[in-house]
Amino acid sequence: MRIYKIFRAAEWAALERDGTTDGAPVDLADGFIHFSTAAQVAETAAKHFAGAEGLVLAAIEADALGGALKWEPSRGGQLFPHLYRALALSEVAETWPLPLDADGRHAFPEAMA
C-alpha cells in the first residue's frame, strides 16, 4: 500500500539536497511525519495546502517504513499513517507535481490510484 506526503517546494528541495527529512514544521511540532492514504490526501491538501502552488506529491510504500510507521486516529477518527523517524529520499517511490486546477483545487495525478 502506498501512502502520500505533500511537500512544499522548499521542503522537497531540502529533502533532495540532504537525503533525509524530519518533515515540515507541523511534523517537527507533533513529533512525527504526517502522511495520508490515497483516500485522505485530497482532503489533506484542501485543509492544509489550500491555494498553495509549487507542491510535490510523494508516494511511499508503507511496508518499507517498518515499525516506525504507526496508524493513529486523527481527522474524524480516521486512521492516518504517522512516521516516527526521518524519511529518506531513497524511500520515496514516485513523485508528481501537484498543480492547481481551474477551480483552484489541487489536481491529483491519475497514476496515483
Contact 21, 11 (CB under 8 A): yes
pLDDT value of position 113: 58
pLDDT value of position 112: 76
Cell representation of residue 110? 491519475
Radius of gyration of the chain (CA): 13
Q: In this model, does residue 111 exceed pLDDT 90?
A: no
Measure the CA–CA gap between 5 and 45, rounded to whole angstroms. 10
For the stretch 30-64, pLDDT in tens is 999 999 999 999 999 999 999 999 999 999 999 99
pLDDT value of position 4: 98
For the stretch 12-30, pLDDT in tens is 999 999 999 999 999 999 9
For the stretch 67-99, pLDDT in tens is 999 999 987 889 999 999 999 999 999 999 999
CATH class of 2-108: alpha beta
Measure the CA–CA gap between 23 and 87, rounded to whole angstroms. 8
pLDDT value of position 76: 85
Domain ranges of the chain: 2-108
